[in-house]
Amino acid sequence: NAGVTQTPKFQVLKTGQSMTLQCAQDMNHNSMYWYRQDPGMGLRLIYYSASEGTTDKGEVPNGYNVSRLNKREFSLRLESAAPSQTSVYFCASRGPGAPMNTEAFFGQGTRLTVV
């Protein structure tokens, strides 16, 4: 079982470049999430998708867009990268069904550096 798979694992971008972080889960979960992790700040929610076809903003959505391509895949796009977006990005999924009392499964993370 692969669980939650994120690509790429590492990326260096120049300021102003764009890129898409990919996430796929094979657990038939309805809900998917994107977080960023910065030292001393824990995990902050960027966007989430309660179910296929829906997306909602989290705590820190500015500078990001998301696409819930299908039930398995949830991508995060940086249209014009800024140094403040240097971070470790985690994708997670929960479910099945209404996920509120279920655990989240996490990918291994994408370490992004914007120079």
Q: Which residues bind another protein (CB under 8 A)?
A: 4, 31, 33, 35, 40-45, 48, 50, 56, 58-59, 90, 92, 94, 99-101, 103-104, 106-109
- Min CB(3)–another protein separation in Å: 9
Nearer to another protein, 16 or 97 (CB): 97
- Min CB(65)–another protein separation in Å: 19
Nearer to another protein, 48 or 78 (CB): 48
Nearer to another protein, 17 or 88 (CB): 88
CA distance 89 to 71: 20
Which residues have a Cβ under 8 Å from the Cβ of 114 and sit 6 or more positions away? 12, 13, 14, 15, 81, 82, 83, 84, 85, 86
Token pair in block for residue 58: 């989290």
Residue type present at position 23 = C
